[in-house]
Structure 1
Amino acid sequence: MDIRRVIGAALILLAAGSAVAQEGDKTISKTTISLGTATPGGGFPLFGDNFASVMNAADPTLVIAPRNTKGSYENIPLLEAGQLDLGLVAGEPAYEAFKGIKRPVTHLKILVAMYSSPGMFVVRADSPYKTIHDLVGQPIAFGAKGSGLPVMSRFILDGLDLKQDEDFKSIYLDHAGDGPAMVLDGRAAALWGAGSGWPGFTTMASSPGGARFIAPSAEEIVRVRAKHAFLKAMTIPAGSYPNQTAPIDSLGSWSFILARADLPDDIAYRLIRTLHGAESALCKKQAQACETTAANTLAAAPDPALIHPGVMKYLREIGVAK
């Protein structure tokens, strides 16, 4: 075989996302799966790194390769263009894509439900703000550009007859990790975020002066759900953040790992089977990831038809789906 054929064969192998590795006397063929996350400092990169670490350890034939992106709103078109195999997508952008809201209906599929994301604000403990309406007119860091967090807050605020960019001095971050510093030094009155173990909230709650969370009241939760029923009532358990001694009721949605529409069924099947066997290991890595389970995927999906066929095959085999 001449040198041109050798180079050509190598290029084909790389294009297919495959690699070979030597393990003892065995040659193992590996499948590389690209995973779009979000900007550094946010919850998606943290989850993506933990997910990849656990999955790669559990299945030596897989190489999950996380990649920082601008977040949900970049991951969706990258998946649709075939430039990513998997992408982390927040519930609201996923909902818009599946429903064709402000864009064509997507053909992407759900690989697995990641975790529930109840939304809320955090302020410094010495802040005078106690309710969402107290924050009206204040500079608020709503999250990174391109991420799903600002979309969630927009839906929730709309349910309270508030406009995110008119009733607040909205700040959209270049990097998710910039938010806590802006609140701590006074450039922002509050930071919006979601879920248990979210890095920005952990930073705020761990700060010397402490922090306080602001979530919708029980009456406000009812009002929001009357207008946007796809948002679900959720609770952040006590102890999810330093010095958080009581549970916090709010509302939000499930985030998903979405797969490109043409991800082969056998690859999706291998991924969910590997994840199912590694759920406890992922839970030990990250408390929030304890919700990343095969069973939760079926429960959280807006419609079972949106779940990847390879995943559904496995869910039927283990008795989760009919």
Structure 2
Amino acid sequence: MSSARLTRRRVMGAGLGALASAMAGACTACSRNSGPARRLLLATGPEGGPYNAFGTALAQAVGASGSRLRIVPVSTSASVDNLHELDAGSVDLALAMADVAEDAALGREPFARPTAVTALARVYVNYTHLLAPSDGPVRSVGDLAGRPVAAGAAGSGVQVVAGRVLREAGLGDGPSPARERQLGLAESARALREGAVDALFWSGGVPTPALTALSRGLGLRFVPLDGYVGPLRERYGPVYTAVTIPAGAYGLAEPVGTLGVANYLLARTDVPQAAVRELLTVVFDRWGDLLREVTAGARLEPRFAISTGRVPLHGGAVAYYRSVYG
């Protein structure tokens, strides 16, 4: 998706329900906090996806807190799209995968120049999934040579990490590249079920509900990706980590090593420090509610939240962490 400014219809369609919930929750606090409200647009992801779920939960939590802030989640294609929207001034806040956020901060492809972006917190870790039918031919990344693979929607962080894994495996170009198809999660699952693709990439929490549903009707093989952690860290830095999809998730009999990528809550540099501090107060008070629908067992801790690599913390975030944690 391009970085064109958001239309009124897009904002209202994506955020009206969450804004209504936020306003309703805030009404009980009107007598406690009579200052003017500040509305912040938050670029999330596709409707039904984890970023959208997090954004909706955050809007509701902020509304119920009595804060003067009003968070309006905006549906997007996710990470890459979100950074373009943030850079264009179309939104105030965004969620994005750490590798894409660093690409934006450094002006690295797919961004033509450095973007003035700041981090509020590292909120949770995505697990990169590479799934194929258990009775199919794909047992390793190399087996994708010449085969169709769902590699994430255009403008998503999934597309970035999938492309990097494929290039590292020598399948980004050359005589027999993987045939990447730009599909979102729901479309990817449907294409795999119908045999239109031989595998799908996804980056998200564990378990991802759509993949749990897919596993109930289709025998799946989870292809290990931990062998790509070292090469990708050498090329792109420590935004990539080794993680394990545990036994039991999706009915797995054994754990599967894969590639982890953190997710950041980001802001434009001109968002007021006071607004950032108010927002982070809610995030840390209600992190359990915010992460419940995103990834099982995740915790939000300050020592990890401030680890945002080469994306600098917003001044308001620095002030918040110093005031609360010293």
Partner SS, residue 258 of structure 1: strand
Tell me, in whole angstroms, the C-alpha distance in 2 between the residues paired with 1:283 and 1:125: 30
Residue matched to 1:132: 141
- Normalised to the residue count of structure 2, the TM-score between the two structures is 0.81
Does residue 1:255 correspond to 2:263, yes or no?
yes
Partner SS, residue 167 of structure 1: coil
- Normalised to the residue count of structure 1, the TM-score between the two structures is 0.82
Does residue 1:313 correspond to 2:323, yes or no?
no
| 5+ long unaligned stretches in structure 1 | 1-16
Does residue 1:73 correspond to 2:80, yes or no?
yes
- 1:238-259 deviation line (CA, Å, top 9, x unaligned): 1573202433222232121211
Paired residues of 2:146 and 2:179 also in contact (CA < 8 A): yes
Partner SS, residue 171 of structure 2: coil
RMSD over aligned CA atoms reads: 2.8
1:71 Cα deviation after fit: 1.9
Moved more, 251-260 or 209-218: 209-218
- 1:207-242 deviation line (CA, Å, top 9, x unaligned): 323322112254x43344344433423213415732
Tell me, in whole angstroms, the C-alpha distance in 1 between the residues paired with 2:30 and 2:270: 34
Tell me, in whole angstroms, the C-alpha distance in 2 between the residues paired with 1:260 and 1:201: 33
| 5+ long unaligned stretches in structure 2 | 1-18
Tell me, in whole angstroms, the C-alpha distance in 2 between the residues paired with 1:289 and 1:79: 30
Partner SS, residue 131 of structure 2: strand
Residue matched to 1:203: 213
Paired residues of 1:197 and 1:241 also in contact (CA < 8 A): yes
Partner SS, residue 287 of structure 1: coil
Moved more, 109-118 or 184-193: 109-118
Does residue 1:214 correspond to 2:223, yes or no?
yes
Change (3 A) 1:64 1:293: farther
Tell me, in whole angstroms, the C-alpha distance in 2 between the residues paired with 1:215 and 1:243: 16
Instruction: Flag the structure with larger Rg.
Output: 1
Residue matched to 2:196: 187
Moved more, 40-49 or 176-185: 40-49
Paired residues of 1:19 and 1:31 also in contact (CA < 8 A): no
- What is the identity, as a one-letter code, of the residue corresponding to 2:302? A
Tell me, in whole angstroms, the C-alpha distance in 2 between the residues paired with 1:157 and 1:24: 51
Moved more, 287-296 or 97-106: 287-296
Tell me, in whole angstroms, the C-alpha distance in 2 between the residues paired with 1:38 and 1:25: 31
Does residue 1:144 correspond to 2:153, yes or no?
yes
- What is the identity, as a one-letter code, of the residue corresponding to 1:87? A
Tell me, in whole angstroms, the C-alpha distance in 2 between the residues paired with 1:89 and 1:225: 18
- What is the identity, as a one-letter code, of the residue corresponding to 2:279? L
Paired residues of 1:111 and 1:268 also in contact (CA < 8 A): yes
Moved more, 264-273 or 98-107: 98-107
Residue matched to 2:28: 23
Does residue 1:281 correspond to 2:289, yes or no?
yes
1:272 Cα deviation after fit: 0.9
- What is the identity, as a one-letter code, of the residue corresponding to 1:49? T
Change (3 A) 1:229 1:160: farther
Tell me, in whole angstroms, the C-alpha distance in 2 between the residues paired with 1:25 and 1:154: 49
Tell me, in whole angstroms, the C-alpha distance in 2 between the residues paired with 1:84 and 1:292: 24
Change (3 A) 1:203 1:191: farther
- What is the identity, as a one-letter code, of the residue corresponding to 1:88? L
